[in-house]
């Protein structure tokens, strides 16, 4: 067990920075993706599990892809992905869709795949610490599946959590989808 979220973040970021190859999520997602019309996803950066090919495949199979737009207060708006070539530069070097549908647009997603540094088997998700995704995930409809994108080694038995942390239902890795027991579920 990690002493704090800060210690856990430092640990997982350090391991990710040592990766020589960032693996993609497409192959696994093609095998496990439910029949959904709209997926909220994100544009990966650096050593994160890669989402570019997954976004392209979702668009090619006539699905809508919502991508986040990072606001100055670290909240997230959402826009429909126009295609990788049409993304625009956003805050903190992120790539974003050109049109903002607002922060409540995530509620229209049938599936949410969010970034994480690690997840615990009880559904606790460790993000980068800005609270952006915890706020966004609180806006989705109950029952909408939430998957955290991580590498297999980033699934752990326990992580520190706070009351505002929003649990996830599963971990999507480049090799498999792992159902998680959400915090508070019996």
Q: Per the annotation, does 159 bind a ligand?
A: no
Residue 95 marked ligand-binding: no
Return the pLDDT at 130.
84
131 is in an annotated binding site: yes
What is the residue-averaged pLDDT of the chain? 92
Q: Has 23 been labeled as part of a binding site?
A: no
Q: Tell me the per-residue pLDDT of 58-94, one tens digit each, with 9 for 90 and over.
A: 999 999 999 999 999 999 999 999 865 688 888 888 8
102 is in an annotated binding site: no
Domain 26-95+105-152 has CATH 3.40.50.10420: yes
Q: How far apart are CA 181 and CA 122, in angstroms?
A: 5
pLDDT in tens, 31-49: 999 999 999 999 999 999 9
Q: Is 128 annotated as a binding residue?
A: yes
């Amino acid at each position: 067990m990690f002493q704090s979220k800060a210690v856990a973040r430092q640990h997982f970021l350090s391991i990710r920075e040592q990766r020589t190859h960032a693996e993609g999520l497409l192959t696994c997602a093609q095998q496990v993706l439910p029949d959904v019309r709209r997926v909220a996803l994100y544009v990966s950066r650096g050593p994160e599990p890669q989402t570019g090919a997954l976004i392209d495949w979702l668009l090619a199979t006539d699905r809508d892809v919502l991508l986040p737009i990072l606001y100055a207060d670290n909240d997230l708006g959402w826009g429909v992905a126009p295609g990788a070539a049409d993304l625009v530069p956003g805050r903190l070097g992120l790539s974003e869709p050109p049109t903002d549908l607002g922060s409540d647009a995530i509620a229209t997603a049938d599936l949410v795949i969010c970034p994480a540094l690690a997840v615990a088997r009880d559904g606790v998700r460790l993000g980068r610490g800005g609270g952006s995704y915890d706020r966004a995930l609180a806006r989705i409809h109950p029952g909408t599946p939430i998957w955290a994108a991580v590498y297999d080694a980033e699934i752990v038995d326990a992580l520190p959590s706070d009351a505002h942390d929003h649990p996830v239902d599963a971990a999507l890795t480049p090799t498999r989808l792992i159902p998680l027991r959400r915090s508070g579920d019996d």
